[in-house]
Structure 1
Amino acid sequence: MLQQVSSEHFQALVNQPCPLHLPDGSQLPIQVEAIELRPQSRLPENTRTPFNVLLRSLGPTDFVDGLCTLELPQLGRVDAVFVSREPALGRDPALGYFSIIFN
């Protein structure tokens, strides 16, 4: 399923609140902040352009990283998406900032 995910699947979620289903079964309200295409990372045998999805929690969270689940337009439920936390670096330290890398 993860091989079918493309950057276009996240376009409708940019700046929209949506739930991130955490490994412990809880939900974290997040917002997709940006989608960054990484064409220079494409392997010759791969047709998908690699991309990163940048997320922001809508409230405080202790979640650091793990395999999560997202609901994506046109694809539905996508399981086993690895989400990793990034440092706040000048942003609101009370919120969580995360990334998902699709190669």
Structure 2
Amino acid sequence: MLQTVKSQHFQALLGRIGTLYLPDGCALQIHIDELAEKPLAKMRYSERMPFSVELSSLQPTGFIDGLCALELPELGRVDDIFVSRVPPMGRDPKLAYFHITFN
């Protein structure tokens, strides 16, 4: 299922609030902040353009990283998406910021 996820699935979600389903079953409200395609990372025979997604939490959380699930347009719930936390780097330190990479 992860191989079918493309940047277009996240395009419609940019700037919107969504739910990230954490490995422990909890639901975390997140904002989809940024989407960036990575053409220099594309492998020769791969059909998908690599891309990354930046998310931010709407409330404090202790979640660091792991396999999560998201609802995506046209695909429904997609499980086993590896989400990793990134440092706040000048942003509100009470909230959490996350990164997803699709190669």
Give the TM-score band, short-chain normalised.
over 0.9
The equivalent of 1:32 in structure 2 is: 32
SS at match of 1:40: helix
C-alpha offsets along residues 11-52 of structure 1, whole Å, 9 cap, x if unaligned?
A: 111111111000000000001100011000000010111000
User: Structure 1: how far apart are the matches of 2:50 and 2:62?
Assistant: 28
The equivalent of 1:92 in structure 2 is: 92
The equivalent of 1:57 in structure 2 is: 57
In the alignment, structure 2 segments of 5+ residues that lack a partner are none
In the alignment, structure 1 segments of 5+ residues that lack a partner are none
User: Structure 2: how far apart are the matches of 1:66 and 1:5?
Assistant: 18
SS at match of 2:83: strand
So what's the TM-score if we normalise by structure 1? 0.98
C-alpha offsets along residues 80-102 of structure 1, whole Å, 9 cap, x if unaligned?
A: 00000000010000110000000
Q: Does 1:41 align with 2:41?
A: yes
**What is the CA RMSD across the aligned residues, in angstroms?**
0.5
User: Structure 2: how far apart are the matches of 1:77 and 1:52?
Assistant: 18
Count residues in correspondence: 103
Runs of 4+ in structure 1 deviating by more than 3 angstroms, as ranges, are none
User: Structure 1: how far apart are the matches of 2:47 and 2:12?
Assistant: 22
Letter in structure 1 aligned against 2:16: Q
User: Structure 2: how far apart are the matches of 1:12 and 1:96?
Assistant: 22
So what's the TM-score if we normalise by structure 2? 0.98
